[in-house]
Amino acid sequence: MIQALLVIDAQQELINGNEKEKGVFNKTTLLDTINSVVKKAIASDSLVVFIRDKDVAQGSGKGFEIHSDIHIPSESKVFDKEATNSFYGTPLLDFLQDNMIEHLVILGCKTEHCIDTAVRTATVSGFDVTLVGDGHSTTDSQSLTAEQIIAHHNEALHGHYNVDNFSMVRNASEDLFSPNHNDYR
């Protein structure tokens, strides 16, 4: 099975915050988790794709770049997006289809926006998805803490399906690149 890791919006300013916005919840652990999953992706011969949001740091400079603590494999792909949806207006879907990807492992930021949208769009687009449950983060909203948002999305997206393809939520310590979707079909 051909697989890819999709690291969404793991950008310097989004993770660390700036003078106007707080950094994401549990950012040190998030960065460690992203690095550990990138290593697993490389070990499993999976493609590694980074998505950057042009809304972060006005789309330029150090704040826009992938976080400096993240190991970026030299053979990885980087796509920039202008919408919440990583698939909208980007070459991502074509790239994944051209490479015959069947399974996506997804992590990054922010849980309730770009992560949620990517998981749902990926299943509609014909991919099985593993969301790394301890590999995405966000900030507090007016009504929920970041921890509550993360827990809610892990619950809502575990088993989310679009007839043939669906998402599972698994933690980084698990064998993410040995998909277990067929155990539930």
pLDDT along the chain (185 residues), means of 10: 96 96 97 98 98 97 98 98 98 98 98 98 97 98 98 96 92 97 88
Whole-number Å distance between alpha carbons of 21 and 11: 14
Cα of 155 vs its chain's centroid, Å: 16
Please give the pLDDT value at position 33: 98
CATH of domain 3-184: 3.40.50.850
Whole-number Å distance between alpha carbons of 82 and 55: 7
Please give the pLDDT value at position 162: 79
CB atoms within 10 A of CB 183: 7
Would you state the torsion angle of the CA atoms of residues 90, 94, 97, 102, taken in this order, to the nearest 10 degrees?
Answer: 0
Whole-number Å distance between alpha carbons of 72 and 67: 9
- Taking the whole predicted model, whether its pTM rises above 0.95 is answered as yes
Classify residue 178 as left (phi > 0), alpha (psi -120 to 50) or beta.
beta
Please give the pLDDT value at position 155: 97
The domain segmentation of the chain, as residue ranges, is 3-184
Please give the pLDDT value at position 185: 81
